[in-house]
């Protein structure tokens, strides 16, 4: 039984990750800004008030978990503000950077003492953060924040893998959640793919960018 911590999990992909890890017998710590009825119904340990942009709340999370090993840390919390060249909003860009890029770094650093040799860290980033795969433009803030998340994940790989901690960058697919207005593959299918990728993650393939379906993506 692994201890799994998921951020941003009151709905969407994070909720489904918690549901599936709990169903297979893992011990789930659900760290969210607010709980939801669906999250409370899972039976996981829910820790509310965790905003990944806020130092004090993330420090509070670390204090609540002092001394507890986390086997799998899934940085899932994320936001999307749609934009194009004509209407880029710089404050929205910064918000996405704070949540999508700095958030996983802040949480992983705060929980560093909970990660031991054999622990794994996943960052739910996005294919649209791939520079090589960008065939359409638009989404300036979201794309840039997810590219930055990829870079931060690669840095974490370099910093943590010498201590036996593997790191993966994960694209969940195009998933039917509030973020996409409900179109795409089901959160359940996406989450089961992400869990399979985390199961396969090891020190040899650490620092890779995976599609939930199991193939690597270009940077």
Ligand X SMILES: NC(=O)c1ccc[n+]([C@@H]2O[C@H](COP(=O)([O-])OP(=O)(O)OC[C@H]3O[C@@H](n4cnc5c(N)ncnc54)[C@H](OP(=O)(O)O)[C@@H]3O)[C@@H](O)[C@H]2O)c1
Task: Kindly state the smallest distance separating residue 55's Cβ from ligand X, in Å.
Answer: 12
The residue among 75 and 119 lying less far from ligand X, judged by its C-beta, is 75
The tokens for 97 are 């950077």
Tokens of residue 69, six digits: 């090993």
Which tokens hold the place of 30?
Answer: 């659900």
What mask of x and - would describe binding to ligand X in positions 142 to 171, judged by CB under 6 A? -----------------------------x
CA dist list (Å): 164 to 51, 70, 116, 119: 28, 13, 7, 7
Q: Of 79 and 196, which CB lies nearer to ligand X in the complex structure?
A: 79
Output DSSP code: residue 216.
B
Compare residues 53 and 192 and give the one whose CB is closer to ligand X. Answer: 53
Q: Which stretch binds ligand X (CB under 6 A): 7-15, 63-71, 132-140, 204-212?
A: 7-15
Q: Are 168 and 208 spatial neighbours (Cβ–Cβ below 8 Å)?
A: yes
The end-to-end CA distance of the chain, in Å, is 33
Q: Should residue 76 be labelled a site residue for ligand X when binding is judged by CB under 6 A?
A: yes
Asked if 69 and 116 touch (Cβ cutoff 8 Å), the reply is: yes
115 binds ligand X (CB under 6 A): no
Binding residues for ligand X (CB under 6 A): 7-14, 32-34, 51-53, 76-79, 99, 124, 126, 171-172, 174-175, 177-180, 184
């Amino acid at each position: 039984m692994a201890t799994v911590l998921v951020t941003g999990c009151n709905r969407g992909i994070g909720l489904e990750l918690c549901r599936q890890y709990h169903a297979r017998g893992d011990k789930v710590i659900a760290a969210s800004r607010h709980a939801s009825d669906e999250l409370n119904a899972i039976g996981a340990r829910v820790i509310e008030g965790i905003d990944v942009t806020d130092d004090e709340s993330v420090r509070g999370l670390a204090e609540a978990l002092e001394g507890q090993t986390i086997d799998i840390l899934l940085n899932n919390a994320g936001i999307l503000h749609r934009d194009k060249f004509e209407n880029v909003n710089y404050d929205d860009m910064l918000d996405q950077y704070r949540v999508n890029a700095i958030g996983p770094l802040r949480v992983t650093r705060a929980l560093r003492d909970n990660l031991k040799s054999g622990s794994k860290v996943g960052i739910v980033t996005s294919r649209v953060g791939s520079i090589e795969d960008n065939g359409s433009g638009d989404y300036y803030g979201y794309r840039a924040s997810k590219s930055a998340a990829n870079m931060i994940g690669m840095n974490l790989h370099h910093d943590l893998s010498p201590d036996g901690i593997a790191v993966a960058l994960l694209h969940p697919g195009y998933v039917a959640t509030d973020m996409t207005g409900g179109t795409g593959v089901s959160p359940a299918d996406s989450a089961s793919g992400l869990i399979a990728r985390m199961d396969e993650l090891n020190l040899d393939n650490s620092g890779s960018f995976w599609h939930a379906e199991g193939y690597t993506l270009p940077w």
